[in-house]
Structure formats: structure tokens, C-alpha cells
Amino acid sequence: MRHLLLISALSTLLASTATAQSPATFTVDQAASQFTFSGSTSLGPIVGNPPNFTLVGACNIIATTGGLPIQTIQFVPGESVLVTPDLVAEIPNPVPFLPALATIVISNLRLELQSNAGSVNGGSFVVNLFSTTVSGTSTITPLGGSPSVGDLTGTMSTPQPLNGTISANGSTLSLNAPLQLNFQLSDPGSGVTADFDVQGSLVADYTAPAPTSYCSSVANSSGAAGIIQASGSQSLFANSLTLDASNLPTLSLGYFIFSETQGFSTGLGGGQGNLCLSGGIFRLSNFIQSSGFTGQVNFPIPFSGLPSAASINAGESWNFQYWFRDASGGAATSNTTDAVSVTFLP
């Protein structure tokens, strides 16, 4: 059958290559991410003035599917959060009416959050989280002494368990996690050592771009050009994204192809259609579709049934197209829809 020959041609054309995991960038909700700090020093307890601050910025998260909607979650480098306002504290004098024993100012403190890969169960996850200081300066001024300035860049907090949740709402994924961090500082200039404890809630959101159509398709025997759209949730956790192809010839067989890389070439497989993909292209030839009498195909993406080398992860954008049997001038051939690009949520 000519259709089987087309499938065979596609098999030789499409190469299966592994995809790299890309992080999704979660923007911190500053108003909701409220923190307090306290601690002790070699001279006495720390009293914040004020003792609270917020976070501004973003964090990177990788979610892996492992054949399931979502299996693990991990904080990775690449984005950072800024502590605002600067942390200002003092070490009170044991004699109440005397000046503080020292003042401590930590300015321009920017942190990069990292963790191990933790398991996810029903939207809840547990990881061991720590932070690395991207920038920051500590200024310690002892009573009757001169200020001593230290560079905090590269300082790492003690890893702490982070129990959080992720939830999808439309194209937005929300992260909510009570966060605890501990920093230990040592200032050679003044001889003061300090132990800071930070507590609060990390609240952040990632909004995936809406699916976007691109490329062009050639009119098929229905008299129209085939089009493809994506509907449903872009969340891997929700597992409900559907590919919709329409303007197809009736009773036509075909299947979906997909790739991380966009492209354009004509005459796919010797047919009439344009190939809107490039690089490592995968096919879903195990899921052959029929356009029926309506000239349409509706196909829920089988994340657990993708080719073994095709791993779709959160934060990645993948491109989909439909290749179908058609006739031109009475001769059997093939055609394609345009393509749609989808960015996935965890």
C-alpha cells in the first residue's frame, strides 16, 4: 500500500535523539514571599531592624516525567532572588541604656537556590534546598570600632528540607513552599562570628506561553489547507493536552510528528506537504488516526507512550505537525498541516 510506503519513508527520515532537560523559570511573588530573620553572634543575640524582608527575582526548576506526568522536581542554578530591603541588625548591649555592642548590615544580598532532585506525589514534593550567595556585602561595626566590610559572594547556606506543593491552573503553575535557610558568617576584621536563621514562604509562578501556530501548509484535496491546534492544559502533571487537526480530506489516515526544533522544507516524503520541523524528529506512527467523515482528528498526547528517546520536560518547547494521506490529480500522495509550538508546564 502506498500509505505503508509513506510510513517507511518517514521511518528513514526521522531520527530519534534524546532531549535535554530545560528549566522552567518561576517568578517570585514578592508580596506573598515574606520572610523574617533572627540569630546569634559571638557577642550576643541578633535583633533585626526591621526583622522582616521579601524576595524579588526568580528560581529555575527542572521537572522530569520518567514516563509519568511528573516524577521529580529540582531547583537548579541560572536565576537568583534579591533580598529586599537590606538586612540591618544590631547586637544589643547587656546594659540597656548603653549603645549596641555592634551593628550588622548585609546589603545587595542575592541568592541562587539549588536542591537535589526530590520526588513528587500528588503535587507535593520534598527536596533538600540550599542557597549560594551570588552577591552581597556584610558591614560589621563594633562599639567604638571601625566598620569591617566583607564580601559574601560564594557563601553557601546549610541544606534544609523543603516541603512544598505545585499546582496547575490553566497555563500557570504555582509553587508554594515554607523555606528555612541558615547562614554562618565570620568577620576576620572585627572577630565577630554570626549565625543567621531565615524563615518564610517561597511563593512563585511560572506561566507558559500560549501555543503558537507557525509555518504554512499546502491546500489538500478538501480544497483547504490543513491546520493544527493544541487544546487543554500544558501541564505535564495534568496530562490533558490534545492535538487537533482539521481541514483534512475525509477518511484520510495519518499520524503526528514532533520535534524540539522548528524548520521548513517542501515535499515531505515526496508528497505535497511542507515539513515544519528539523533536528531530531519523532513520529507517533503507533497511533495512526483517521479523519473520518468530518475531516478532523483529535488526539490526546500519550506522554507515557512517546518514543523512548523523546522525553518532554517542563520548560521545554516542542513543535507538532500532522502528516496525512491525500490524493493529487487522482494519484495517492501525502500532505501536512501547519505546525504548533507548545511550551510545557511541570
* Residues 65 and 145 occupy one common structural domain: yes
Q: Is the pLDDT of residue 226 over 50?
A: yes
- State the residue range of the domain holding 331: 2-20+209-343
Within a domain: residue 25?
A: no
Within a domain: residue 170?
A: yes
Which letter does DSSP use for residue 156 in this model? B
pLDDT at 15: 30
Q: Is the pLDDT of residue 65 over 80?
A: no
Question: What is the rounded average pLDDT of the residues 182-207?
Answer: 86
Of 288, 262, 270, residue with least CA distance to 335: 270
Q: Which has more confidence, 278 or 7?
A: 278
- Rounded to 10 degrees, the C-alpha dihedral 151/156/158/162 comes to 120
How confident is the model over 7-54, as pLDDT tens digits? 333 333 333 333 346 788 899 999 999 999 999 988 889 999 889 999
pLDDT at 69: 66
State how many domains the chain has.
Answer: 2
Q: Is the pLDDT of residue 251 over 90?
A: yes
Contact 139, 87 (CB under 8 A): no
Strands (DSSP E) along 247-295, which ranges?
Answer: 253-265, 275-283, 289-290
The domain boundary residue, chosen from 207, 235, 251 = 207
Within a domain: residue 123?
A: yes
Within a domain: residue 161?
A: yes
Q: Can you read off the three cell numbers belonging to residue 94? A: 547587656
Question: What is the rounded average pLDDT of the residues 133-154?
Answer: 92
pLDDT at 113: 96
| Three-state secondary-structure class, residue 72 | strand
pLDDT at 66: 60
* Residues 163 and 226 occupy one common structural domain: no
Question: What is the rounded average pLDDT of the residues 170-176?
Answer: 84
Lowest model confidence (mean pLDDT) among 133-142, 178-187, 272-281, 285-294: 178-187
CATH for 150: 2.40.160
Lowest model confidence (mean pLDDT) among 18-22, 110-114, 124-128, 287-291: 18-22
Q: Is the pLDDT of residue 170 over 80?
A: no
pLDDT at 7: 31
* Residues 224 and 283 occupy one common structural domain: yes
* Residues 162 and 245 occupy one common structural domain: no
* Average pLDDT for the chain: 88
Sign of CA pseudo-dihedral 253, 257, 262, 266: negative
Q: Is the pLDDT of residue 1 over 70?
A: no
Q: Is the pLDDT of residue 3 over 50?
A: no
pLDDT at 239: 83
The domain boundary residue, chosen from 181, 207, 233 = 207
* Residues 49 and 127 occupy one common structural domain: yes
* Residues 60 and 203 occupy one common structural domain: yes
Kindly indicate the confidence band of residue 258, based on its pLDDT and cuts at 50, 70 and 90: very high
pLDDT at 237: 77
The set of residues, in sequence order, having a beta carbon less than 8 Å from that of 153 and lying 6+ positions away, is: 133, 134, 135, 136
* Residues 200 and 260 occupy one common structural domain: no
Kindly indicate the confidence band of residue 68, based on its pLDDT and cuts at 50, 70 and 90: low
Q: For residue 4, what is the enclosing H or E element?
A: helix 2-13
Of 121, 67, 20, residue with least CA distance to 302: 67
The domain boundary residue, chosen from 178, 207, 236 = 207
* Residues 123 and 233 occupy one common structural domain: no
* Residues 150 and 285 occupy one common structural domain: no
Within a domain: residue 274?
A: yes
d(CA 128, CA 119): 11
pLDDT at 23: 83
pLDDT at 268: 94
Within a domain: residue 26?
A: no
* Residues 164 and 255 occupy one common structural domain: no
* Residues 143 and 164 occupy one common structural domain: yes
* Residues 82 and 183 occupy one common structural domain: yes
d(CA 160, CA 115): 9
Contact 219, 204 (CB under 8 A): no
